[in-house]
């Protein structure tokens, strides 16, 4: 089904309004039609589309836009956490025959899809073959060149994240891209030509000098920051001494389960992995 962005469909039951990697809430609910209309009246919508097949619209506010009246914003990962364990949505969307059985996990998945497709629309504006502007495809979730008709489809970047245990200890690391003192699991992108299991072996060995065994897949999570699909694994220590890849990490250490350092917050893949939410 196509993304429809020539006009905003406010008749969708579900409205996702984003600013950066935050999602806008109206009280404790998703925004209603009036909030969406007001965003267009104020000319603060940077991009938008609707997927009628899924019954939702998605709108991206301009970066410095204040929250709509009566609304607040929370990080999208906090929204994911908020949705965990909710069997049926009642406060977040209007209940109808079509939506009354939507679970929190399904709503979080739609939010991830919506944010990921907004990223796709922002990234794919011109044809890489001829340079002409891209437009929304009429039949598929894609962008099509207005000149040569080449199609561009959303692409996911699969990435592995691995929790490694050695007896009653787990291996956690601080990444160079973070300066908040947070320790997380070893993660990295799957490279061309390798299996996801090979990616686990390679990433762990490259970043920490550790070899692992008994790799076990435990779950996955869409992570639209901007377009990852996180594949979560558990593995056991096999051999080796810690020797970090200094281009990626600042530190890696073994921690006992009852003495964990500061770790990523709820809603993140690492939190779910460390705290057994995938089990």
- The full DSSP string for 14-52 is EEEEEETTEEEEETTB---HHHHHHHHHTT-EEEEEEET
Q: Are strands 157-166 and 228-239 parallel, antiparallel or unpaired?
A: parallel
Q: Is the same domain home to 189 and 269?
A: yes
Q: Is the same domain home to 162 and 268?
A: yes
For position 55, what pLDDT does the model report?
86
Report the domain count for the chain.
2
pTM, full prediction: 0.87
The CATH number given to whatever domain includes residue 192 is: 3.90.79.10
> Which residue range forms the structural domain that includes residue 81?
14-123
For position 11, what pLDDT does the model report?
67
Residue 8 belongs to some domain of the structure: no
- The full DSSP string for 160-204 is EEEEEEETTEEEEEEETT--S---B-EEEEPPTT--HHHHHHHHH
For position 87, what pLDDT does the model report?
78
Bond preceding residue 72 cis, omega within 30 of 0:
no
- Among 79, 108, 123, residue at a domain's last position: 123
For position 99, what pLDDT does the model report?
58
Residue 149 belongs to some domain of the structure: no
Residue 5 belongs to some domain of the structure: no
Residue 170 belongs to some domain of the structure: yes
Residue 51 belongs to some domain of the structure: yes
Chain CA centroid to CA 147, Å: 32
**Tens-digit pLDDT string for the chain (279 aa):** 677 775 565 568 899 999 999 999 998 889 998 999 999 889 999 999 999 888 899 999 999 999 999 999 999 999 998 888 787 776 566 555 555 578 888 999 999 999 999 999 999 999 999 999 999 999 999 999 999 999 999 999 999 999 999 999 999 999 998 778 999 999 999 999 999 999 999 999 999 999 999 999 999 999 998 899 999 999 999 999 999 999 999 999 999 999 999 999 888 899 989 998 776
Residue 57 belongs to some domain of the structure: yes
Q: Is the same domain home to 175 and 242?
A: yes
For position 84, what pLDDT does the model report?
81
Q: Is the same domain home to 270 and 182?
A: yes
For position 177, what pLDDT does the model report?
84
Nearest one of 225, 208, 210, 221 to 173, comparing CA atoms: 208
Residue 137 belongs to some domain of the structure: no
For position 98, what pLDDT does the model report?
57
């Amino acid at each position: 089904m196509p993304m429809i962005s020539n006009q905003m469909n406010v008749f969708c039951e579900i409205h996702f309004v984003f600013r950066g990697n935050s999602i806008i809430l109206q009280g404790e609910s998703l925004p209603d039609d009036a909030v969406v209309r007001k965003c267009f009246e104020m000319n603060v919508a940077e991009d938008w589309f609707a997927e009628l097949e899924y019954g939702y619209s998605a709108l991206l506010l301009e970066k410095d836009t204040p929250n709509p009246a009566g609304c607040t914003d929370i990080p999208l990962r906090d929204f994911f956490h908020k949705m965990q364990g909710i069997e049926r949505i009642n406060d977040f969307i209007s209940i109808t025959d079509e939506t009354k059985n939507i679970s929190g996990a399904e709503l979080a998945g739609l939010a991830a899809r919506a944010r990921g497709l907004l990223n796709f629309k922002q990234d794919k504006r011109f044809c890489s073959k001829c340079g002409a502007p891209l437009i929304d495809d009429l039949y598929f979730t894609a962008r099509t060149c207005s000149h040569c008709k080449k199609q561009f489809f959303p692409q996911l970047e699969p990435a592995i994240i691995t929790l490694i245990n050695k007896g009653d200890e787990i291996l956690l690391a601080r990444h160079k891209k973070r300066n908040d003192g947070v320790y997380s699991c070893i993660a990295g992108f799957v490279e061309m030509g390798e299996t996801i299991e090979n990616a686990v072996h390679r990433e762990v060995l490259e970043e920490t000098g550790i070899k692992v065994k008994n790799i076990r897949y435990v779950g996955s999570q869409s992570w639209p920051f901007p377009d990852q699909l996180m594949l979560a694994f558990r593995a056991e220590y096999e051999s080796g001494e810690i020797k970090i890849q200094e281009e990626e990490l600042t530190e890696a250490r073994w921690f006992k389960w009852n003495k964990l350092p500061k770790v990523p917050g709820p809603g993140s893949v690492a939190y779910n992995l460390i705290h057994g939410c995938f089990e």
